Amino acid sequence: MIQRLAAEAIGTFWLVFAGCGSALLSASIPQLGIGVFGIAFAFGMAVVTAVYAFGHISGCHINPAVTVGLVLSQRFPARELPGYIAAQVIGGILGAGVLYLIATGRAGFVPGGFASNGYGDHSPGGYSLLAGFCAEMVFAFFFLLIILGATDSRAPHGFAPLAIGLAVALINWAGIPVTNLSLNPARSTATAVFADGWALQQLWLFWVAPILGGAVAGVVYPFIAGRPAASPKR
């Protein structure tokens, strides 16, 4: 169990450090800015590499919403849920902390939102709370369906990390303008800790909506799959 929790923490560290770092560090130098396309692709690649590295150890959930969805789909034991979520949050905060240390090494750095997720005045596109909640929930729902389908014992073997990573990139392309896209309560918490105060005030949405979407997918997938699917090997 200790090894699996460590893998979850390290995987979430990598997701936050590489994904959010691609936005924060490149954005600080305009001529190196990679734009929404580049940031979305960076998050997707962070997930692909993490799943290949740690999927066989812990399943590489690196996201509380994923773990909840897997529990409700009977792919993961409920007794291990608290430990996984704690490891994911701790790993994410550590990743954001190292990223903050690097970012502050440049003169004139101001944390601001620090790649946090937000709605209303803090939405990149000015989207409302309702719009943000709907986007986070629906994207998380489909993300979990993709994870459950790609890791089903009947799916082609070896391609799950690619399908999951591509899903992350696609969802980010669509969702960044709405909320800066979370899907992941651990990722949202990690950056909110180092951002301006508004990020912590709005953090509740980025726990509730993704977990709700993941939970619904965890119930729906076994129904549409037709029969229980074997859990993927860790």
Quickly tell me which residue has 């949405």 as its tokens: 205
- Rounded Cα distance, 8 and 20, in Å: 18
Amino acid 230 reads A
234 found inside a domain? no
Q: Which residues of 162-190 are buried (b: 16+ CB within 10 A; e: fewer)?
A: ebbbbbbbbbbbebbebbbbbbbbbbbbb
- What is 153-164 written as a DSSP string? TTSPTT-HHHHH
For the chain, what is the domain count? 1
**What pLDDT sits at residue 234?**
41
195 found inside a domain? yes
- List the domain range (segments joined by +) for residue 27: 2-105+113-225
Q: For 26, phi and psi rounded to 5 degrees?
A: -75, -35
- Rounded Cα distance, 217 and 173, in Å: 21
Sequence-distant (6+) residues with CB within 8 A of 231 are 75, 76
202 found inside a domain? yes
pLDDT by residue for the chain (234 residues), tens only, comes to 899 999 999 999 999 999 999 888 876 666 666 788 889 999 999 999 999 999 999 999 999 999 999 999 999 999 999 999 999 999 999 999 999 999 998 887 788 889 999 999 999 999 999 999 999 999 999 999 999 999 998 888 889 999 999 999 999 999 999 999 999 999 999 999 999 999 999 999 999 999 999 999 999 999 998 755 455 444
Claim: this prediction has a pTM higher than 0.85: yes
19 found inside a domain? yes
Closest by alpha carbon to 18, among 54, 53, 57, 45? Answer: 45
- What is 164-186 written as a DSSP string? HHHHHHHHHHHHHHHHS--S-HH
231 found inside a domain? no
Structure tokens at 19: 């994904």
DSSP state of 43: H
CATH of residue 12's domain is 1.20.1080.10
232 found inside a domain? no
95 found inside a domain? yes
C-alpha distances (whole Å) from 148 to each of 67, 77, 83, 185, 205 are 11, 15, 21, 19, 24
Amino acid 132 reads G
44 found inside a domain? yes
